[in-house]
Amino acid sequence: MFSLSVATLLQIKAESFTRVITMSQVVTSGEVIAKQNTPEKAMDIRDAIAKVLYGRLFSWIVNRINPALNSHDGYVEGREGGEGGREGGREERRERRGREGGAKYRNSHVTIM
């Protein structure tokens, strides 16, 4: 049941997804050896796939939100923090942009297994 719903969401065949989780392949000198994973190994693979998907989704969300936040140049309507709703001075905004830039770099370098 789990593999069918995940496969449907990822738009891949459920049989292929199940095989990825439950089977391992070793290639030695042109020969392919397939073996059944233990239940513990299958759960580790499942958890690793979930972690990668979560990380990619989080990065996607952050990359969609950051441009909207940056387009206001530190101005957030209705928040306290100085004159005209500005959050801090020029130096504080510069430091915040530096931190956000580091987060963008880290989020852009997430790779799929």
pLDDT at 56: 93
User: Among 2, 110, 111, which Cα is nearest to 20's?
Assistant: 2
pLDDT at 24: 92
pLDDT at 48: 94
pLDDT per residue as tens digits for the range 10-64: 898 989 889 999 999 988 888 999 999 999 999 999 999 999 999 999 999 999 8
Please tell me the pTM assigned to this model: 0.54
Cα–Cα distance between 19 and 67 in angstroms, integer? 39
